[in-house]
Amino acid sequence: MASGLPVVASDLAVHREICGGAAVYFPRFSSEELAQCVVQLAGSADTSKRMSDRGRERSQQFSWKTHVEKILQLARELADVRKKRAGAAC
């Protein structure tokens, strides 16, 4: 999305959560409908451009820095819980 390529994704909750309206969806395991989505995007410069713009906008809502900071914070919290449990066991 961030690179400006239109996204075609299988219709799974996680993909909809990440991509929102910035992707064209097909039923999972349906290679025929996947192909149709790709052909649709390849055949329509307007649709491709619209999806590309939506993808760039959507990608701005995500940050690797924020993601890593959240993971590190969770790790710190888990380490604190482990220390507290170890201290209580003594």
Residues 54 and 68 in one domain: no
What pLDDT is attached to residue 90?
60
Provide the residue range defining the domain that includes 87.
63-90
Residues 25 and 2 in one domain: yes
What pLDDT is attached to residue 71?
97
pLDDT digits (tens, 9 = 90+) for 21-68: 999 999 999 999 999 999 999 999 999 999 999 999 999 999 999 999
| Cα 75 off chain centre by | 22
DSSP-assigned beta bridge partners for residue 9:
25
What pLDDT is attached to residue 37?
97
φ, ψ dihedrals at 8, nearest 5°: -115, 125
Residues 40 and 84 in one domain: no
Residues 54 and 67 in one domain: no
